[in-house]
Amino acid sequence: MSRFWSKTVQELTPYVPGEQPKLTQLIKLNTNESPYGPSPKAIAAISQANSELLRLYPDPNSDALKQCIARNYHLQANQVFVGNGSDEVLAHVFLGLLKHDKAILFPDITYSFYPVYCKLYGIDFETVPLNAEFAIDIKTYLGKANGGIIFPNPNAPTGRALALSDIRELLEHNTESVVVVDEAYVDFGTESASTLINQYHNLLVSHTLSKSRALAGLRVGYAMGHADLIAGLERVKNSFNSYPIDRLAMAGAIAAIDDQKHLETISSAVIKSREALIADLNQLGFETIPSQANFIFTCHPKHDAGQLAQALRERHIIVRHFKQTRIDQYLRITIGTDEQCAALVKALQAILA
Ligand SMILES: *Cc1c(COP(=O)(O)O)cnc(C)c1O
């Protein structure tokens, strides 16, 4: 605390990202990064950079990247917004589309950045409890006056997904505020709501290259929606940072998004490992929520989750444990390579013995 801090800064509760340890030799299953590398075409595109390319500012509108995304999702370029990671995109969404007189709605258990943005921008929110199976029940959102609705699909950190028909039902009933579907994990087996964009003008869908495209280090995210929603986000962005996408990120992102084949290869490998890991953990007595993501959410009825996380850490495996009511007995474990999953299962066998 310093007397030079503004009142706003004094009152913030910043988001705490999963640890990025300086130690190598760790099995890092705590922040949902891909265990595989990005498209080799993305690396090749980034390597093309030279002094002339980097001397100049990038295109402030990132037109080539927007066109690439539009082409891949059958949209127009003016239906696409891009930012420095989807966290930045979401920050602009909160300020530009979710800050109204009425409180916004999101699940009680969800991406913990949402309440942080609310605090930063002075947005009221109300949480809507997940049901007993840790699923979002769309019915609980209907008929509630609100300034907007946001949730990840699949949800984080549970991994459970909603069907497209549920999202459509919500959009049919909730017509007076923006519905944001954060699809950070959509490529691991969920149908994208991006196909509904031309039908529902209050729908915004956000994506990231950090998870399924294995480019967390590049910091590129995007949102897709009606051109009027995108124009609102551009007004916020152009009041904040004119050049969020640097030239290396732009080149890498375009090559990565166009490499649909690589995406499918590494996503199906993760899905296969996920199902095998769930079976192995359940053999050890864990109870695991069905996951459509690149992580699982699991608990053991006879062992404290915090202690398990600590015991794994002592064996150089890091997983995520949230000290939050309702979920403090769960571990969120990122799907690693089959080798890493096997090491995790072996460590847990030893710990539980
Ligand atoms: C990882 C994640 C993001 C943010 O991803 P970026 O790396 O900032 O693009 C957004 N929403 C959810 C639910 C996430 O898990």
pLDDT (tens digit per residue) in 172-208: 999 999 999 999 999 999 999 999 999 999 999 999 9
- Do 134 and 165 lie in one domain? The reply is yes
- Do 248 and 100 lie in one domain? The reply is yes
Q: What is the CATH number of the domain that holds 336?
A: 3.90.1150.10
Q: Which is the closest atom of ligand 1 to the Cα of 155?
A: 13
Query: Of 10, 195, 5, 205, which Cα lies nearest the Cα of 90?
Result: 205
Asked if the model's pLDDT at residue 25 lies above 90, the reply is no
CA separation, residue 54 to residues 25, 238, 247, 315 (Å): 34, 21, 7, 43
Structural domains counted in the chain: 2
Give me the pLDDT at residue 254, please: 98
CA of 86 to the centre of ligand 1 (A): 6
Distance CA 262, CA 139 (A): 37
For residues 120 and 52, which has the higher predicted lDDT (pLDDT)? 120
- Do 101 and 145 lie in one domain? The reply is yes
- Do 274 and 348 lie in one domain? The reply is yes
Asked if the model's pLDDT at residue 22 lies above 80, the reply is no
Distance CA 154, CA 42 (A): 26
Domain range for 84 is 40-258
Give me the pLDDT at residue 118, please: 97
- Do 221 and 320 lie in one domain? The reply is no
Asked if the model's pLDDT at residue 262 lies above 90, the reply is yes
193, 226, 258 — which closes off a domain? 258
Mean pLDDT, rounded, of the chain: 96
pTM above 0.95, yes or no: yes
Protein residue with least CA distance to atom 14, ligand 1: 184
Task: Give the residue, out of 190, 211, 218, with the most ligand 1 atoms within 8 A of its beta carbon, to mutate for a pocket test.
Answer: 211
Task: Give the residue, out of 208, 215, 322, with the most ligand 1 atoms within 8 A of its beta carbon, to mutate for a pocket test.
Answer: 208
228, 258, 288 — which closes off a domain? 258
- Do 86 and 121 lie in one domain? The reply is yes
- Do 121 and 191 lie in one domain? The reply is yes
Task: Give the residue, out of 210, 220, 322, with the most ligand 1 atoms within 8 A of its beta carbon, to mutate for a pocket test.
Answer: 210
Protein residue with least CA distance to atom 5, ligand 1: 86
- Do 240 and 158 lie in one domain? The reply is yes
Residue corresponding to tokens 């979002």: 136
Q: Which is the closest atom of ligand 1 to the Cα of 88?
A: 8
206, 228, 258 — which closes off a domain? 258
Asked if the model's pLDDT at residue 19 lies above 90, the reply is no
